[in-house]
Chain A
Amino acid sequence: DSGVTQTPKHLITATGQRVTLRCSPRSGDLSVYWYQQSLDQGLQFLIQYYNGEERAKGNILERFSAQQFPDLHSELNLSSLELGDSALYFCASSISGEFGRELFFGSGTQLSVL
């Protein structure tokens, strides 16, 4: 158990809908990362937050947004969903935003868009 909690584990929804994925980082970790894993693209970095502030942005679509709350949990919002958004979404946390740190991953949320 990594100590990172993601909910829900599975999510099935329809095209055009909006969903929210939730992540609770390990106790004491200030940095949260979101990754998307699909068969064709592999693991793609979406966005990173550090202590409530956006730190880095990757291949995140404009239809997607995220935030980190004062209690350090994070939410990833996906809207106007398309079939191609079906993927496994991982949250990871680390104690700081510094280089070389270990990331601790949650078990992921499997999103299926029908």
Chain B
Amino acid sequence: AQSVTQLDSQVPVFEEAPVELRCNYSSSVSVYLFWYVQYPNQGLQLLLKYLSGSTLVKGINGFEAEFNKSQTSFHLRKPSVHISDTAEYFCAVEGYSTLTFGKGTMLLVSP
């Protein structure tokens, strides 16, 4: 089986500050890893994904994530956040036939 743990349910941050949203996963097989974002009253949309190759993955809107196999982590980072980044962020792992999501981290960006 596979599982995802997002260590923070909420992360408050000031505009233009850096942010890191943490994600740890467990799986008994090789995995594919994803970050999705959900803006208010919308469905989820893909930020970035790791399938293979370079462990540093760049996504949309200036986000990036680093796959660390030894620590089974896939943390999401952005060097400088904007108010418009306020949303819920979901880490997901695919190791069998399904995509398993974490419980989400709410990123709250204030001026």
Q: Enumerate chain A interface residues (CB-CB to B < 8 A).
A: 2, 4, 33, 35, 42-43, 45, 48, 55-56, 58, 90, 92, 99-100, 102-108
Contacts and interface: CB of A to CB of B under 8 A. Distances in A.
Q: List the 6 closest pairs (A to B, CB-CB), nearest first.
A: A105-B43, A42-B103, A43-B101, A56-B97, A105-B44, A100-B51
A44 B42 CA distance: 17
B3 to A, nearest CB: 11
- Size category, B interface: 20 to 34
Contact of A42 (B45, B49, B94, B102): B102
Contacts, number: 50
A103 B46 contact: yes
Contacts of A2: 43, 45
Query: Helix, strand, loop or mixed for chain A's interface?
Result: strand
B98 A90 contact: no
7 contacts: A42-B101, A42-B102, A43-B103, A100-B32, A103-B99, A105-B36, A107-B43
